[in-house]
Structure 1
Amino acid sequence: MTFSECATAYITAHRRGWSNPKHAEQWRSTLDTYAAPAFGSIDVSQVDTHQVIRALEPIWQTKTETASRLRGRIERVLAWATTRGYRAGENPARWRGHLDTLLPKPGAIKDISHHSALPYSQANEFMAALSQEDGKAPKALQFAILTACRTNEVIGATWAEIDLVSSVWTIPAQRMKAGKEHRVPLSPAAINVLAGMAPAQAGDYVFEGAKAGKPLSNMAMLNVLKRMERTDLTVHGFRSTFRDWAAEATNFPRELAEKALAHTVRSEVEAAYQRGDLLEKRRDMMVQWAAHCGRQ
């Protein structure tokens, strides 16, 4: 059996024992997002320390809580596989006397990371505070959070790119990091942000800066965070907040969140599977994200 097959079997075996019905989907989402790309298709008997580290290291410093939870879940799946006779030997995901020699303790790096990405459990509270801020830059930050888009994508947005009838924002390829056109389904909350901007607009840019015909500075949203005394956060970090929410708190497939973030698909198999942009499926996800943020 592959690791992913074992993960499915483990979740099925324990589903009824978990008090929270969403727990099983959170397990599935976390393992699909972070473990599967590293070793999900590998025979579970061949999963070793090197492969476990491949899954953990990229997020150990920046998403410590998620990474620590992921390690525990990998360890449990591998323990299940050993008990079932699908593998033998020591568990490569165990912490004491093993991974603790390769990775810093989670508690030791939380202070170093300064929580640049807001925990998704605090998104509602933060958005409520942000809504009290006046000006175009706070509106731009709300829009960036609700769409999970990058700073330059948001401040460069023009009215010509936005179709209010179909609630779609089409970002041209030349403004995308991957050089590929990206369609963003706009939730009612995101449309409301735009509705608040429209009466004040005379130019092409949705979030026009102090100079007519020019967009906001790329520091404008960061300055909002400074005014809110949230220098522990970054604008880009809200993309990680969205990603963590999708993986930990929902049962949306991994590819939907990756599409929403306009990440380049590295696997040829996955790229072939994702020929479309999954726009309508992503729309439901963004509506639920807005609801989580308290901006329905």
Structure 2
Amino acid sequence: MALTTLKVKNAKPGRHVDGRGLCLLVKDSGARTWVLRMQKDGRRRDYGLGSAFDVSLSEAREAATALRRKVREGVDPVAERRRARKVVPNFEAAARDCYEALKEGWKNKRHANWISSLENHVFPVIGKRLVDQVDSVAVVEVLSPIWLEIPETARRILQRVGAVLDYAHIKGWLPGEVSLRSVRKGLPRQTGKTGHLEAMSFADVPELMQKLAAASPTTGRDALRFTIYNAVRSNETRFAVWTEFDLDKAIWTIPGERMKARETHVVPLSAPTVALLRRRWNERASDTGLVFSKDGEKPISDMTMTKLLRDDGIKGVTVHGFRSAFTDWAAERTRFPKEVADKALAHKLPNQVEAAYRRTDFFEKRRSLMARWAEFLDKAPAQESKDAARPASEPTAFRVAA
């Protein structure tokens, strides 16, 4: 028997049928809900039509009629409602979604620092906020602690946050575009010189290396020592994989796609570097995975090595700056030609004519140079001060132990 307004009002707990699948559900608590039960393609489904306190009997019947019509036309009301109730993710989820969408267009793994920079500096501050609640004020909050400390990274993070917000707008999570042009007005002026990263004096590097070697080994400390020994860029260390190394020949071959100049770079490894790698090889998670990683798959972040310097009270100095320290040391403490040191740093010759004729990579001279650099780094400060007074000379060929 069909329901009436009075029956709806006085209905006891249970299911009360009106007809053609429409029924009133009354709970023990007194809550009353309209439900339409239908069967489509052999599958029975219940569709909620709202509370009986808000939807009258006549309105529930009209809604049921409209819903039956949609189902007959092939519309899935549940999926339609889900699309209408679009869930806005938090900033971290939106950023990771954005990263997955963009990374396919990047040429090499170096762009993994795109997401790692957000993991280190952004997610801890605003990662849990809904992306539609992230505005210029929130971005200033993120950048304030690092704007002067690591200015180049901070500027990149500003660009990356902007990319995430643009992506969120395209996905429909933000009603309008968010402009971050005013963010810089809420931050102090960056006065550091551009193009030159602050470096530690080469005379102070051996003391740092002694501290790193004396402390209990960690992936970050090994990566920093390795980077300094080889005078390479931090990303070249972070994404190094075991298949690039021949430890018996003490050679590291970095493929061109991982190099700034896009050319393969062969690095002669000094004895201490080989020893460090052999120890890590014995503790490896994979024969082909990343060398400086806990699981062989996820690289350390671009700030791991920098944090070691900051924790030791070394302010301003960058990991990249150790390449400058190496250059100064080679010029002041050795008689190796400048082009040998430049080749060790994988620098391209600025003169294109000279580059066309100079095909050698000075590999044997570089092996001697890097052996001399490692010897300098591993000396105690007292011994180094005694050797500083001795005339610089080019060492004899260095033989790497197997």
**TM-score past 0.5 threshold:** yes
Once the two structures are TM-superposed, the CA of residue 116 in structure 1 deviates from its matched residue by: 2.6
Task: For 2:379 and 2:284, locate their aligned partners in 1 and report how far apart those are by CA, in whole Å.
Answer: 23
Contact conserved, 1:189 with 1:295, CA < 8 A, in 2?
no
Map 1:23-38 → 2, pairs under 5 A:
none
The yes-or-no answer on 1:217 pairing with 2:291 is no
Question: Take 1:268 and 1:187, find their aligned partners in 2: how far apart are those partners?
Answer: 31
Residue number in structure 2 paired with 1:123: 205
| RMSD of aligned residue pairs (Cα, Å) | 2.2
The whole-number CA distance in structure 1 between the counterparts of 2:352 and 2:296 is: 45
SS in 2 for 1:170: strand
The reply to whether residue 141 of structure 1 matches residue 224 of structure 2 is yes
Structure 2 residue aligned with 1:290: 374
Superposition deviation, residue 147 in structure 1 = 0.4
Post-superposition shift, 1:270?
Answer: 2.8
Q: Are 1:173 and 1:180, in contact at CA under 8 Å, matched by a contact in 2?
A: yes
Q: Which residue of the partner structure matches residue 195 of structure 1?
A: 278
Which SS does the other structure have where 1:131 is aligned?
Answer: helix
Counterpart Cα distance in 1 of 2:204 and 2:377: 8
Give 1:268 deviation, angstroms. Answer: 2.5
3-state secondary structure, aligned to 1:179: coil
Query: 1:207 and 2:292 equivalent?
Result: yes
How far the C-alpha of 1:227 sits from its partner, in A, is: 1.8
1:266 counterpart = 2:350: yes
Inter-partner Cα distance in structure 2 for 1:212 and 1:294: 28
Greater relative contact order, per chain length (Cα 8 Å cut-off, separation 6+): 1
**Corresponding residue for residue 170 of structure 2:** none
Inter-CA distance 212–259: structure 2 relative to 1 (3 Å threshold)? closer
Query: Structure 2: which amino acid aligns with 1:251?
Result: R
Shift of 1:295: 6.3
Aligned to 1:45: none
Is contact 2:229–2:373 with CA below 8 Å preserved after alignment?
yes
* 8 Å contact kept, 1:162–1:168: yes
Maintained 8 Å contact 1:173/1:179 = yes
- Percent identity among equivalent residues? 42
1:161-240 aligned at under 5 Å gives the runs 161-203=244-286, 204-209=289-294, 213-240=297-324
Name the one with the larger strand percent: 2
2:339 aligned partner: 255
Uncovered stretches (5+) of structure 1, i.e. residues with no partner:
1-111
Q: Does the CA-based 8 Å contact 1:123-1:292 persist in structure 2?
A: no
Judge conservation of contact 1:140–1:155 (CA < 8 Å) in 2.
yes
- C-alpha separation between the residues in 2 aligned to 1:295 and 1:260? 21
The one-character-per-residue Cα deviations of 1:55-82 (angstroms, maximum 9, x if unpaired) are xxxxxxxxxxxxxxxxxxxxxxxxxxxx
Max radius of gyration: which structure?
2
Runs of 4+ in 1 over 4 A off after TM superposition: none
Question: TM-score, normalising length from structure 1?
Answer: 0.59
CA distance in 2, matches of 1:232, 1:131: 22
Aligned residues: 185
Q: Which amino acid aligns with 2:205?
A: A
Separation in structure 2 between the aligned mates of residue 256 and residue 287 of structure 1, nearest angstrom:
13
CA offset at residue 274 of structure 1? 2.6
Can you list the C-alpha shifts for 1:17-64, whole angstroms capped at 9, x where unaligned? xxxxxxxxxxxxxxxxxxxxxxxxxxxxxxxxxxxxxxxxxxxxxxxx
The equivalent of 2:396 in structure 1 is none
